[in-house]
Amino acid sequence: MIQGGAISWLEGARQAPSAHNTQPWRFRELEDGRIAVSWQPERALPASDPTRRDLYLSLGTAIESAVLGAATAHITLTFGTGPSNVEDLPANVEHEQIVGYLQPVQAEVSEEDLLLARSLHTRHTARVPHLPQPVPASTLKGMQEEAQQRGSMLYVLTERHAIRKLAKLARQATAEQFADPAIQEELWHWLRLDPHDPAYRRDGLNAECMNLQGFSLAVARFAMSPVRMRWLSHVGLHHLLALETEWTVRHSTSLCLLTTPSLARQDVIQAGRTLLRLWLMADQAGLTTHPVSALIDSQSTVVPTLAVFGTQGAMPAAIFRLGATQPVARSHRLPREELVLEASRASEQEIGRDAQSKEKSG
Ligand SMILES: Cc1cc2nc3c(=O)[nH]c(=O)nc-3n(C[C@H](O)[C@H](O)[C@H](O)COP(=O)(O)O)c2cc1C
């Protein structure tokens, strides 16, 4: 058990970003003082994330957020993969879902971590056009050095013609996703377009954080349901909806590509930890980030995307817009208690959630 810092590491982890805001991470405090980090299968995205790249990146962001949260209570946590044993398994968690352990160690907390931790609660995704302000070269340099120190590379594009090319590719990739029934179904499951939805302030992507209001919200409510989207893509109108993505990407000050040495689980988790630090650095510089993952998810756009960055051989982990924006709403988070698994409580929670999701689908 971590003395004194129990809230700070968990509160840090709770603020982490995740694809579709699924918040897949779960934690269990073990008798020996370690914290087992695992994920919930029902919060994975098998259709849009079949390789689990986004899942492991998201777990990485939560691990780094926990480390930085603990730092604010002057506790140093390290993350490793073992040793593990069967008693470590929280109820209803398969061995495969434990990705590693956070462990308190005797070491000084760094000033750099304390500074980054200040942005845990303010960093957010902004899916809006960038203001016409260049990203300071010193910020980009700092982010690139940070990535390199942590085993990744960060490539940055600021040239207009390159950004226009990526914008077109983003439209193509988004249209492909709209035309894929399984991906569309999955997105619909995590979209929260009705403020009366009980999950509106818990998880997923709600209208405010997606910057949808008035006409655009009405269009999304009409068009995004899987049945309507199937019809729209049948007649080719899904390309029109994807134009919005092209427009947003076109209005970017910069686009950044983060690489990973491989798609092995621990490498992607490490890239996720780095990604979180980069996004916090951006927040400290008064900038926001906005991933455009479709570009590297789609088989038809990943190679041309890497070519625009001039990094043909690289293994992409994440691609995101970086710039200054107007203030936008931040996504909601699950309550802290739901993130911690205890042997007996875990199964009760699962039963409760199963009942809730049956009610919803019924
Ligand atoms: C690995 C990863 C992939 C993501 N991909 C996308 C994306 O393709 N498009 C998008 O709009 N947001 C994407 N996001 C942003 C999440 O939706 C966002 O982090 C989440 O909703 C929480 O909101 P916040 O970042 O404002 O705290 C991604 C986030 C992560 C961590």
Residue 225 has pLDDT above 60, yes or no: yes
- Tens of pLDDT, residue by residue over 245-292, are 999 999 999 999 999 999 999 999 999 999 999 999 999 999 999 999
Q: Locate the domains of the chain by residue range.
A: 6-121+332-361, 137-323
Cβ of 293 below 6 Å from ligand 1: yes
| Percentage, residues of the chain above pLDDT 90 | 87
Q: What local confidence, expressed as pLDDT, does residue 345 receive? A: 43
Q: What local confidence, expressed as pLDDT, does residue 221 receive? A: 95
Q: What local confidence, expressed as pLDDT, does residue 228 receive? A: 96
Closest-CA residue to 118 (of 288, 271, 333, 283): 283
Q: How far apart are the first and last CA of the chain?
A: 41
Q: How many angstroms does the Cα of residue 18 sit away from the middle of ligand 1?
A: 5
Residue 351 has pLDDT above 70, yes or no: no
The C-alpha atoms of residue 39 and residue 37 are separated, in whole angstroms, by: 7
Q: 6-121+332-361: what fold?
A: NADH Oxidase (3.40.109)
Residue 353 has pLDDT above 80, yes or no: no
Q: What local confidence, expressed as pLDDT, does residue 96 receive? A: 81
CATH code reported for the domain at 137-323: 3.40.109.10
Amino acid in position 119: S
- Non-local (6+) Cβ contacts of 301 within 8 A are 169, 170, 172, 173, 176, 294, 295
pLDDT band for position 362 (50/70/90)? very low
pLDDT band for position 358 (50/70/90)? very low
- What number does the ligand 1 atom closest to the CA of 293 have? 8
Q: Give yes or no on whether 6-121+332-361 and 137-323 have one common fold.
A: yes
Q: What local confidence, expressed as pLDDT, does residue 355 receive? A: 42
Cβ of 57 below 6 Å from ligand 1: yes
pLDDT band for position 47 (50/70/90)? very high
